[in-house]
Amino acid sequence: MPSPARTIVDIRIVESHNASERNAVMYHAAMTDARPTPPASARRLRWLLALPKLGIVLLLVAVLTLIWLLHSNEVEEERSALIKDVLWLEQNLRFHLDGNQEQLQQLALEMSSEPNRQKHFRLRAEHLRKNSPDIAQILWLDANRQIIDALPTANHLDRDIEPFGPTAAARAFELASQLGKQQYSEPFFLEGNSAFIELLVPIFSERKLTGMLALVYPLDTLLASQVPWWFTEKYKVEIVDDNDRLFASKTHIAGKHNQSYEIPFDPPGAGLLLRVTNYNAPDNSLQRLLVAAIILLASGVFWSLWLVRELMKKRSLAEDALREEHAFRAAMENSLTVGMRARDLVGRVIYVNPAFCRMTGFSAAELVNQAPPMPYWAPEQLEETYAMHQTVLAGDAPPDGFEITFMRKNGERFQALIYEAKLIDGNGRHTGWMASVLDITERKHAQELARQQQEQLQFTSRLVTMGEMASTLAHELNQPLAAIASYNTGCQNLLNSGKASPQEILPALEKIGLQAQRAGKIIRRVHDFVRKSEPKRAPCQFGEVVEDCLGFVEAEGRKRHVRIECDIPPLPPIPADRLMLEQVLLNLIRNGMEAMAGNPETERVLSIATTIRDNELQVSVSDNGSGIAPEIRDKLFTAFFTTKPEGMGVGLSICRSIIEFHRGRLWVEDNPHSPTGSGTIFIFTLPLDAA
């Protein structure tokens, strides 16, 4: 909740304009207080102020027009350069293809009259491929389109698609044979979607077709070898057809394209187009930088002409917003139930909200400017409250808040939870402390009631547990009492016979004493377990706690045929409530024995083990029962949740609350060492120190 200091800061921020704004405010006030300006002078002043604005507008229009013209000129220059480069590239490709075509025609003429034609073909074809690495294959075909020889291999690349109908190369072969001159094939795809074209030159002997020479060009390789690197640094080169199907491309750049130009790719023709696209390059020209600076400067001048008018408008809007904000914050303060109190660096109260006044019963006038001791401090805790006051002023207030007793104006005490934070002004300076105060009297009362109910529930749970074990304990207690009666009858018979000596009676009396101690120990355990007492942590030996629990459950273990294995090494004393730990152990042991009711007798083994790690005592109770289903494991420690038909569902919930009271943890795991393949381990920890 904002304090008056924060509100003052807000007002100060609104009113703290720069020097230009203050001058404008003074000018506005002077113009308001002065006499009205004559109409002619006012109109002249408005025109004088409008002329610079008009000039700036015209300047901006001129600059924008200049930018548009420069941009249009630049685009036209780029297109002209693109067309020139495309024409150059097309001529270069044409020259290269025409040169290969002439060499192939010369070879065809020579082979028509050469006696050793195969050797001559090999020699000239190897020379041609060495000078033109973009040629994938040179073939020598007969009149029936059968391969006579080929470099580098005798495999005709176009033969792979012949089963699917007439190929592009086959159509070109027929056309070259009929026309009697060189012919380029249509592009076709082979070898993983690579595009190829063939140049076919017929071989005639005495005006009769005797064969055909073919050059196979991969279009990607053609571009890679004939398009120079500097060209691909500026453009993207593509070979496409009329349907915009891509056959080959080459570029070293990527991004958004600017413009493109297409030209027929002839040779080889067949509807192929050579498309060249240029891309936007980063513009770092000084000319555009200067234009941008001019626009920025013109915009600043134009804005400065409107500054006075805008400042007046902003001030009016700021005042309206300040009034609305003040009303909004006042409404928030009046609706808060959390008390807010602000103090300066020496502890003097500088602000309280209505909720704090209602909480203490004092008015804001009675509290503001008050120095310690405060009227709402409880006299019986004056020293403690003043010490906490000094701690807060020193900057050492607990970050999680602290509890303290305050006094209302009518003398009634109440518990308050206080959170202290630094009070920072608009310049970032620490000017005091802001406190949030909550009345937690009802909460404390509810917590105390819940604690008492929890203790009563724990006591009731112990009584229920002892009631369930009553028959077993009665049978256990009946054994020493029967033995005492038997020994006593024997002693009486010896005394009545008159022949008894003290040495004969003494062993029986000693056994009577031992059985009486055994019965008394059972009664003491029951009495200690069911007595009602306040929880109190004191040093105790955990081994003795386990021994007392085993004294309770030994009889029930024999009845259920459960073997209890207990390995408790010497342990240091732990700060704990002995009775509560017995309740936890007894509950976990009885749960483990009940879980093994369906097991064979040889597998009914319950283990109790302890280890010390990280300054904690870790206790585990393991059984070989049926285990715990995953869907109920998360609800296992929930109050009133039980899987037993007659269970109350509070045992494990109470066990967890007891362990958490001792600052420990209780959880459950599967038993990996169980011979039945299932089983459960309940584990809880207890700290070894009393902090």
Same domain, 474 and 554: no
* Mean pLDDT, each 10-residue run in order, the chain (691 residues): 37 35 37 43 61 72 80 84 89 90 88 82 88 88 87 60 55 87 86 81 86 90 89 88 88 76 84 84 63 76 71 75 78 73 88 87 88 88 87 86 87 87 85 86 74 61 57 57 68 72 71 66 60 69 86 81 87 84 85 87 90 89 85 71 55 80 88 83 86 51
What's the rounded Cα separation, in Å, for the pair 322 and 485? 97
**Is 252 in a helix, a strand, or coil?**
coil
Please report, as a single letter, which amino acid is at residue 207.
Answer: R
Supply the CATH number for residue 506's domain.
1.10.287
Q: Do strands 605-613 and 616-623 pair parallel, antiparallel, or not at all (unpaired)? A: antiparallel
Instruction: Tell me, yes or no, whether 289 lies in a domain.
Output: no
pTM for this structure? Answer: 0.37
Q: What is the pLDDT of residue 5?
A: 36
Of 271, 270, 274, nearest to 169 by C-alpha is 270
Same domain, 386 and 507: no
Q: What is the pLDDT of residue 119?
A: 86
Q: What is the pLDDT of residue 18?
A: 39
Total domains present in the chain: 4
Q: Identify how many contiguous H helices and E strands the chain contains and give both numbers.
A: 19, 22
| Sign, Cα dihedral of 109, 114, 119, 124 | negative
Same domain, 247 and 166: yes
Print the domain residue range for 185. Answer: 104-281
Task: Please report, in angstroms and rounded to a whole number, the separation of the first and last CA atoms in the chain.
Answer: 38
Residue 93 corresponds to which tokens in the numbers above? 């490709």
Instruction: Tell me, yes or no, whether 268 lies in a domain.
Output: yes
Supply the CATH number for residue 420's domain.
3.30.450.20
Q: What is the pLDDT of residue 517?
A: 65
Supply the CATH number for residue 145's domain.
3.30.450.350
What's the rounded Cα separation, in Å, for the pair 116 and 82? 50
Same domain, 446 and 433: no
What's the rounded Cα separation, in Å, for the pair 181 and 259? 38
DSSP for residue 159: G
What's the rounded Cα separation, in Å, for the pair 512 and 205? 141
Instruction: Tell me, yes or no, whether 288 lies in a domain.
Output: no
DSSP for residue 379: G
Same domain, 264 and 385: no
Same domain, 274 and 143: yes
Same domain, 649 and 557: yes
Instruction: Tell me, yes or no, whether 155 lies in a domain.
Output: yes
The string of DSSP letters for 566-620 reads EE------EEE-HHHHHHHHHHHHHHHHHHTTTS-GGG-EEEEEEEEETTEEEEE
- Alpha-carbon separation of residue 155 from 122, 165, 346, 678 (angstroms): 15, 19, 100, 71
What's the rounded Cα separation, in Å, for the pair 618 and 666? 10
Of 175, 189, 184, nearest to 220 by C-alpha is 189
DSSP for residue 448: H
- Name 387's Cβ contacts closer than 8 Å, sequence gap at least 6: none
Supply the CATH number for residue 547's domain.
3.30.565.10
Q: What is the pLDDT of residue 256?
A: 67
What's the rounded Cα separation, in Å, for the pair 349 and 435? 11
What's the rounded Cα separation, in Å, for the pair 95 and 89? 10
Q: What is the pLDDT of residue 685?
A: 92
Same domain, 435 and 445: no
Same domain, 260 and 123: yes
Of 491, 547, 495, nearest to 521 by C-alpha is 547
Distance of CA 207 to the CA centre of its chain: 82
Q: Do strands 574-576 and 188-190 pair parallel, antiparallel, or not at all (unpaired)? A: unpaired
Same domain, 365 and 382: yes
Long-range contacts of range 95-100, CB-CB < 8 Å, 24 or more positions apart?
Answer: 96/132, 96/226, 97/199, 97/267, 97/268, 98/267, 100/128, 100/132, 100/135, 100/199, 100/215
